[in-house]
Amino acid sequence: MALAAAVSAGAQPPTFTSKVEAVRVDVLVTDKGRALTDLGRNDFEVFDNGVLQQIDFVSYEQIPLNVVLAFDMSDSVAGDRLQHLRSAGAAVLGGLRKEDQAGLVTFSNPVVLGSALTTNRMPVREALDAAGGAGNTALVDGVYAGMELGESDVGRALLIVFSDGLDTVSWLTPGAVLDIAKRCDVVVYAVSTGRAKPEFLRDLTSFTGGRLFEVERTANLGAIFLDVLQEFRQRYLLSYTPRGVAVSGWHRLDVRVKRKATVKARPGYLAGS
């Protein structure tokens, strides 16, 4: 799987197959900041473009995770920052369960597949240790590669993105990759340490139902990554077959629970070609 070549080829725009047959939605339910973990199918309501849907499946901590790390390795990531990033990535690997898979994508000028999804932590650790900071920042291309890797196998896909700056050399446009994010099942959490406003990462995490962390220093990066992993484990996976709605276009999602709680989920999805 030559991600660098695929991203830079430029012959065909990237696409994901639309998933209107069965829509999957990752949902976090909290009450005063505490995750609610005892809910069942009858506790949820899902509205697709305002139409109440019949939920076919609800899962909590039953499906293995596909955790993809997509890390900025441009020349501004060096010294202590690089060491903090490596340690944070190792912390995530250490927090995975036996059946979970992990993968690594790094991006600077090229986008590099450090490791495909695997339950073996060693190749991911070795690739992370070998990665070094050099060159510019292909953030948008790196995010696309990370989403593609996350969906390359069955499981619940979590993409953790780290970048300390704005994109400078990507071939893909932010709009094209955001459209892809609206079609796929990957939930994106991102950490930005750049001074400029990370609008692309903010939109990306919003559209996928994830979360953006803006930090000034990376000394506490490991704790942030572990919090992300823990929060993702506390999410429910809902699945339904859309009924009574159009087969294409933007579908607005509204996920509710039948009790007083805060619900976090993706705001919608794109269907059709």
Count CB-CB contacts under 10 A for residue 253.
19
On the question of pLDDT at 246 being above 60, the answer is yes
64-233, CATH topology level: Rossmann fold (3.40.50)
Q: For 209-226, what is each residue's pLDDT tens digit?
A: 999 999 989 999 999 999
* C-alpha torsion 273→182→69→83, nearest 10: 130
> What CA–CA distance (Å, rounded) separates 3 from 6?
5
DSSP for residue 186: -
Strand partners, 199: none
Mean pLDDT, rounded, of the chain: 91
Q: Which residues contact 153 (CB under 8 A, 6 or more apart)?
A: 66, 101, 117
Q: For 55-83, what is each residue's pLDDT tens digit?
A: 999 999 889 999 999 999 998 888 899 99
Inter-residue contact 257 to 39 (CB < 8 Å): yes
Inter-residue contact 43 to 258 (CB < 8 Å): yes
Inter-residue contact 161 to 201 (CB < 8 Å): yes
Q: Which residues contact 258 (CB under 8 A, 6 or more apart)?
A: 42, 43, 44, 45
Coil, helix or strand at residue 34: strand
Q: Which residues contact 62 (CB under 8 A, 6 or more apart)?
A: none
Inter-residue contact 121 to 96 (CB < 8 Å): yes
Give phi and psi for 228, each to the nearest 5: -60, -45
* Token pair 């994106």 in the structure block, residue: 188
> What CA–CA distance (Å, rounded) separates 90 from 136?
24
Inter-residue contact 82 to 193 (CB < 8 Å): no
Domain edges within the chain: 23-61+235-271, 64-233
Structure tokens at 13: 């725009």
Comparing 230 with 17, the larger pLDDT belongs to: 230
Give phi and psi for 244, each to the nearest 5: 75, 20
> What CA–CA distance (Å, rounded) separates 80 from 255?
42
Q: Supply the pLDDT for residue 132.
A: 83
Q: For 160-200, what is each residue's pLDDT tens digit?
A: 999 987 899 999 999 999 999 999 999 999 999 977 789 99
> What CA–CA distance (Å, rounded) separates 96 from 111?
25
Which amino acid, 57?
F
Q: Supply the pLDDT for residue 251.
A: 97
Q: Supply the pLDDT for residue 167.
A: 92
On the question of pLDDT at 122 being above 80, the answer is yes
DSSP for residue 157: E
Query: Could you tell me the pTM of the whole model?
Result: 0.92
On the question of pLDDT at 17 being above 70, the answer is no
Strands 187-192 and 156-163: parallel
> What CA–CA distance (Å, rounded) separates 106 from 71?
5
On the question of pLDDT at 1 being above 50, the answer is no
